[in-house]
Amino acid sequence: MGEHGMSVFKSWNKLVAWAVTTIILVWLGMTTDFGVAVETLKSAHFLPYIPVVIGVCIVVFWVDSVCLVVLFRRFNAPTTLREMLPIKGASYLLNVVNYNAGAASIAYFFRNRKRVPFIESLSSMLWLNFIDVVALSLLVIMATGVGGERIDPTTSSTLLTFCCSLLVILLGTLAYWNAGWNFFLFGRLRSWRLFTTFSKATIKDYGMFLSLRVFFVTTYVFSQWLVMPFFNMEAGLDELFIYVPALTFIGTIPLVNAAGLGAVQGFMREFYADFVPAGHDINGFIDAYSTTTILSFVLIRVVIGLICMRSVGKDMAQDTATEP
C-alpha cells in the first residue's frame, strides 16, 4: 500500500471511529435522564476534584513515559526520560482521535529524534500494546479471584473467559517467537519487520514489561477510586480492579471510541451501576460522571500535548536544519 493509500485508509478509520462514536452518543442521549445528569453535576464537588484530576494525569503521564524509555532502550536506541516526556506528551493530541493513533505518533517522532526506522519503532509500540492487553487480562483475573463474589456472576464469567482466552494467545505467542514453533502458515511473520520486537523479546522481557504495565494500569484504577467520591459514588478497589482494566481495553478499540467517548460510556452504565447512590437514575447519573471525567482527562492531556508539542516542534526544526 502506497503512502497515498495509507493516508486514505487512516482518514477512513478516523471517519468511521467518529461516526460510530456519534451513533453511540446519540443512543446514550436518547436513553439518559438529563434532569438527573444536571443534578449529578450540581451535587459534584469540583473544587477538590480539579487538582486531583490534574495530579492523576501528571502521574499517569510520567509512569507511561518511564515505561516507554525502558521499551525503546531495550529494543531500539538509547533514550532518556527527558527526551521521552515531550514525545509522549505530544502524542496526547492524537489520542483525541484514538489510542492507536497516539501510539503510532510516538513511533513517528522517535524515528525523527533517533533516526530509528519507523516500522521498527512501530513494532515496539505494537509489542507494548500486546503486553498491555495481557496486563489488563492478568489484572482482571487476579481481581476476580480476590473479590469476584461482589461481581454479577454473568459479568464475571464473561470477563474471565475473555481474559483467559487472551492468556492462551500469550502462551501461543511465546511458543511461536521464543520456542520456534510454527503454526500453519504463520512462520512467514518472522521475516516481517513489523514484528521485529516480537522476535527480539525474551521471556525475561515479557516478565519485566508485564510487571511495568500492570503497575501502569494500576494508576488508572486508583484514578477512578480517587475521583468517584467527588460525585458521591463509593466503590471498592477490588471491584475497580476488575472493571477499570476491562474499560481500558474497550477504550483501545479504535472503531468504537473517539476522544475517549463512545462504547466505554455504555459499558460504564453496566459496570458502575452498583456505585450510584440509592434513589438516582443509573443512566443519567453514570452518563454525567463518565462524560465529565473523560472530558476532564482529555482536556488536561490536550494541554500537556500542546505544551510538549512546542518542544517537539523545535527539536524537529533543528533536526531538519542540520540534515545535509
Full DSSP string of 222-275: HHHHHHGGGGT----HHHHHHHHHHHHHHHT-TTSEETTEEHHHHHHHHHTGGG
Q: Is residue 56 over pLDDT 90?
A: yes
What's the whole-number mean pLDDT along residues 73-84? Answer: 91
Contact 146, 236 (CB under 8 A): no
Lowest mean pLDDT of 1-10, 123-132, 247-256, name the range.
Answer: 1-10
Reported as a pLDDT band with limits 50, 70 and 90, residue 5 is very low
**Cα angle 44-45-51, degrees, rounded to a multiple of 5:** 130
Per-residue model confidence (pLDDT) at position 255: 60
In tens, the pLDDT along 91-113 reads: 888 777 656 667 777 888 777 77
Give the pTM.
0.83
Binned at pLDDT 50, 70 and 90, residue 148 comes out as low
Nearest in space to 257 (alpha carbons), one of 298, 216, 221, 214: 298
Of 104-113, 162-171, 211-220, 244-253, the range with the highest mean pLDDT is: 211-220
pLDDT score of 266 more than 70: yes
Would you state the pLDDT for residue 314? 61
Which of these, 20, 21, 40, lies nearest to 272 by C-alpha position? 40
Q: Is the pLDDT of residue 297 over 80?
A: yes
Return d(Cα 185, Cα 149) in angstroms, integer. 43
Q: Which of the 8 DSSP states describes residue 292?
A: H
Alpha-carbon distance of 230 to 221, in angstroms, equals: 16
pLDDT value of position 186: 63
Q: Which residues partner with 258 through β-bridges?
A: 261
